[in-house]
Structure 1
């Protein structure tokens, strides 16, 4: 069986071009919550922890353990659910120090609570100082959403959000909440800002 590549198999979820409506199903994630500027050290640590856990699962067969239902796959991209704290909501500009986030990496369906505990133990052995207390294994269903691909700097995202809002008004849809999700298709450490690809997504309701 060939390796499962999310970029090829799940283009609708991860590689939209122009704004589109999508029903996002229930999926399993390793998640971690935090707050503050994404350019800070704690944010970087959270990202490293999530990737460490995800690769611990992915590499299990190399350690001589193949979980039931395991298949070869590419680790899913990092995602972030973004909000502002109360102070940040009062400002008429974006102050990144007031951001509140939940970072996550999707896991294949075969991942169980036992495998999550295995991943935690693996990361703990490699990095005893890693703060793993905040990590959760949870199922999340986003439901009806509008999404689009944003190409360029994260600071230019408002332009793409405008296109998404326009799409909503043309299709009898209303944004359901101020929060939004970002899916990081590009690795920001290796990609020039102008070429960064980020899926932007927010929940919507249908206007009757």
Structure 2
């Protein structure tokens, strides 16, 4: 592979494909991610802004290291989020974002090893020292079978789609929810009008009798 060829790793994984209005069952492989945890309203929480302020510099430092040291350039994968609350109705009824807990994620390509991740975190800590750099970790996320769909529109318009997924689609297919609600953000909210934002909504599941 030429050093100048830039790979989009998400194009090789079925879990990064979804269609609006269609709920698909997909098998998601184990994947490694840069991760930062937090709690609270993502629109107002300083912890949330600080999490992104630590994740992105590490992700881009890894990308440049891969290109420089391995001759493998790639598109930095999209931001993703795991979301949960003590009462999951906080996502579908009322949308009380102060009750939300989250883990923000950026995928790490399989050829990038743990030593490169540690070096990238250290480099960012030395040069920029983001507020939450010490909270960045690299872990494997195992989800397995999931139901997912593509939502186009404002994040605040997700509730009816999630209600349909949780209360209609999943039970109708003989499945039950497990794990954590997962979102994949294909649009930069700073640059994309809310009505055009593209977000995969994913829910890990198990057979109802499992």
Bin for the TM-score computed over the shorter chain: 0.7 to 0.9
- Which residue pairs with 1:51 in the alignment? 56
Deviation at 1:205, TM superposition (A): 1.1
CA distance in 2, matches of 1:84, 1:103: 15
Alignment of 1:13-28 (within 5 A): 13-17=15-19, 18-28=22-32
Give the distance between the partners of 1:114 and 1:35, measured in 2 at CA. 29
Stretches of structure 2 that go unaligned for 5 or more consecutive residues are none
For structure 1, which runs of at least 5 residues remain unmatched after alignment?
Answer: none
Q: Deviations over 1:54-75 (max 9, x none)?
A: 100101256xx414xx522111
Structure 2 contact 80–105 (Cα < 8 Å) conserved:
yes
Q: Which of the numbers 40, 46, 52 marks the counterpart of 1:36?
A: 40
Q: Is the 8 A contact 1:80 1:181 kept in 2?
A: yes
TM-score, normalising length: structure 1: 0.87
Question: Structure 2 CA distance, aligned partners of 1:163 and 1:93?
Answer: 16
Residue 26 of structure 2 is aligned to residue 60 of structure 1 = no
CA drift at 1:123: 1.0
Partner Cα separation in structure 1 for residue 134 and residue 111 of structure 2: 23
Residue 168 (structure 1) aligned to one of 158, 167, 170: 170
What secondary structure does 1:104 align onto?
Answer: strand
In the aligned structure 1, how far is the partner of 2:97 from the partner of 2:163?
20
Shift of residue 129, structure 1, vs aligned partner: 4.8
Aligned positions of 1:71-82 closer than 5 A: 71-82=72-83
Could you say which residue in structure 2 is the equivalent of 1:96? 97
Aligned residues: 201
Report if aligned partners of 1:19, 1:163 keep a CA contact under 8 Å in 2: no
2:145/2:204 contact within 8 Å kept: yes
- What TM-score, normalized by structure 2, do the two folds share? 0.86
State the superposition RMSD in angstroms: 2.4
* Residue pair 2:25, 2:146 contacting (<8 A) in 1 also: yes
- CA deviations on 1:26-51 (whole Å, 9 max, x unpaired) are 11111010111101232112112111
Tell me if the contact between 1:27 and 1:106 (Cα under 8 Å) persists in the aligned partners: yes
SS at match of 1:23: strand
Looking at structure 2, the residues matched to 193 and 123 of structure 1 have their Cα atoms a distance apart, in angstroms, of 31
Distance 2:104 2:130 in 1: 20
